[in-house]
Structure 1
């Protein structure tokens, strides 16, 4: 037995991306249903945010609450590159008014975001399990079927937004995905109740590990440190074949570090180890007839620069404005969604290009900064500013804040130019290594 419901937009997934697009569309006056398969609060990895998120958090009215609840993050400390000396980039060095971000407990942060979407007018159903995407086989998505509390529900909608993360409930049915084989990694991590802070105590630590991979250290509070080891998937598979446990793999990475190992006691076994695959991918398209994808459902990039939540919520912010235009003016749907895809895809490509470049830990520090400056296209003499602008998301703030799904001819030309420049660089590098 099932009932029939109708909404303007159904969002699959209540994480930060889903709650952002759902809340903003509901605030704009549209009938929105958000379906979340779990009951919040629930655990999730990805606890370090970047300053590029601040304008959206202002739009959502959450900055004051984030400042009250969570640890500030003022920069990133790195031990990376051919220079063995650690180095640091301070968010304030860009001259932006956004001088800090936050380290967050995701269960609490995601609950805050979802509750905010409710307060903005979205209908939220938790523990809802989507069993069918209606119309996916025909190329035009018209709704979906979900189960909640033992009852089946059918929903029709103008649009379905896939914000279901790496489950990709909708996008896996309607578009192809390109996996980035050179970024197939696995993460192993745990939490420590006692730790020794690094010099800049509220920074995130990113440290390259000899032999491949890298470690993070995220201070979630004075008595809680998130520490993880990201390594190539084939190395993890080899370790498993050799009978090593998750903890033993983690400890191998810790022992090979220079800074991370000074932060925690390796004999402390109180931290339960968790693991997840970390395989970067990019969907062929982020939209189609009746559907849009945001967050990990659209694309995922190695979390080296804590870009995941920023990319997900930024895409959701873009999608909300494009969908609002499409709902109010169906004749403009194609143009609005095309603009969403174009700008959102460029954000991903910029980060993907740079992560791939940065993953070579043998370069000079100046090379990392100069390449970041090239990607951000910042009109500044300081490569250091270009670096922090890219990894913090600040370099894209104007594109996000000023996004107009129908009035971006100038920005579209910039995007095309940047795409051609990136293509030319890639071809030159390939020729040089041939």
Structure 2
């Protein structure tokens, strides 16, 4: 027997994107159900944040707790490009009030954000497994079927938000996905209990490796370092065919580095390393009748600049405001969701365009900075500021904070459409009266 429930919005996935959109909608007075398939806390990669997240964390009331729990991150140190000398970008040099981000233990961050969604009024079910997406004959998504604690439930909702990550529970069925073939990469990573910090000890390190690929090093705390190697999937496959293990490949990349290898003792490398594919993709649309996609369910960009959590949660922030409009007045839904799609898609495209350019490690430092300035279209004479603004998300803060799902243009369009509809209705009624 299936129990039938009813909510305004059901969110699939309780990670940063799902907890953000679910919490904000619940705070606005909507009945929201968040379905998370795992039990938190649970392990997740993606441990370095960017300063562009800070306005949202302020909106959620979490900045003080983030400062208390997690290691600050004040910049990014790179060894990349033709110049063999390392270089650094300091977040504070943009002039923004947001001068630091955080390195986080994702199990803690995600649990913190999901608990916050509960506090804001969302109903949260962990270890809930979605088994079916309900779609009407018209093509509109109308709800879900899920199992929880051995029972089967149907939930009918006005909107379903897909925040299920790479699983793409709803988006897989409702839209096509364009895979970025030149950004099909695989990551191999592990952790070290002892390490030697780089000069700017709270920076993330990104280092291009001779022969292909790049390494990251994230100081999660004084006694824990996350370090990983990212390689093109084809290159990894070829090395595995040669008989190398994933650990062998990682150690070979570490040995080929210039900075990363000075931070750790290779002998301390874990016997078993974690792996994940990070194939960049972009969905054809981020919304449709009855559904919205955010986070990796909508799109994913190579994690070179630690933009994943920022992109996912920022899109959720945009989606919450658009859905507030759509729920309040369905006549405004199409315009509000289209504006959400347009702004969110541009964030992805800006990062995707730049990552694709930056992946060539044979350019001059000035080229990387000048291209970043072009991508963000910043009105500044400093290409250095443009670079930091792009990779930190600061350049998009105004678009996110000031996002209005309707705007004056939207109101004009809606009023014009309503006027035309009313005129057509009156003409039809007049014609019928004369028959």
Q: Shorter-chain-normalised TM-score: which range?
A: over 0.9
Cα distance in 2 for partners of 1:299, 1:28 equals: 26
Cα distance in 2 for partners of 1:391, 1:223 equals: 27
> What is the TM-score when the length of structure 2 is the normalising length?
0.93
Cα distance in 1 for partners of 2:126, 2:240 equals: 36
Cα distance in 2 for partners of 1:361, 1:243 equals: 28
1:157: which partner in 2?
A: 157
Question: Which runs of structure 2 are paired with 1:300-311 in the superposition (5 Å)?
Answer: 300-311=300-311
Q: State whether structure 2 residue 199 is matched by structure 1 residue 182.
A: no
1:218: which partner in 2?
A: 218
Cα distance in 2 for partners of 1:123, 1:140 equals: 24
Question: Which runs of structure 2 are paired with 1:266-281 in the superposition (5 Å)?
Answer: 266-270=266-270, 272-281=272-281
1:115: which partner in 2?
A: 115
SS in 1 for 2:141: coil
Question: Which runs of structure 2 are paired with 1:1-150 in the superposition (5 Å)?
Answer: 1-135=1-135, 139-150=139-150
SS in 1 for 2:30: coil
Cα distance in 1 for partners of 2:222, 2:81 equals: 29
Q: CA deviation at 1:269?
A: 3.5
Cα distance in 2 for partners of 1:136, 1:345 equals: 27
Q: What is the CA deviation profile of residues 44-88 of structure 1, one whole-angstrom value per residue up to 9, with x for unaligned ones?
A: 000000000000000000000000000000000000000000000
State the Cα RMSD in Å: 1.1
Q: State whether structure 2 residue 339 is matched by structure 1 residue 339.
A: yes
Q: CA deviation at 1:246?
A: 1.6
SS in 2 for 1:142: strand
Larger radius of gyration: 2
1:244–1:378 Cα change, 3 Å: same
- Structure 1 unaligned runs (5+)? 411-434
Q: CA deviation at 1:367?
A: 0.4
- Structure 2 unaligned runs (5+)? 411-435
1:283: which partner in 2?
A: 283
Contact 1:323 1:336 in 2 (8 A): yes
1:377–1:57 Cα change, 3 Å: same
SS in 2 for 1:160: strand
Cα distance in 2 for partners of 1:114, 1:299 equals: 21
> What is the TM-score when the length of structure 1 is the normalising length?
0.93
Q: How many residues align?
A: 410
SS in 2 for 1:39: coil
Q: CA deviation at 1:358?
A: 0.2
Runs of 4+ in structure 1 deviating by more than 3 angstroms, as ranges, are 269-272
Contact 2:190 2:270 in 1 (8 A): no
2:227: which partner in 1?
A: 227
Q: CA deviation at 1:138?
A: 5.0
Q: CA deviation at 1:139?
A: 2.0
Cα distance in 1 for partners of 2:186, 2:131 equals: 29
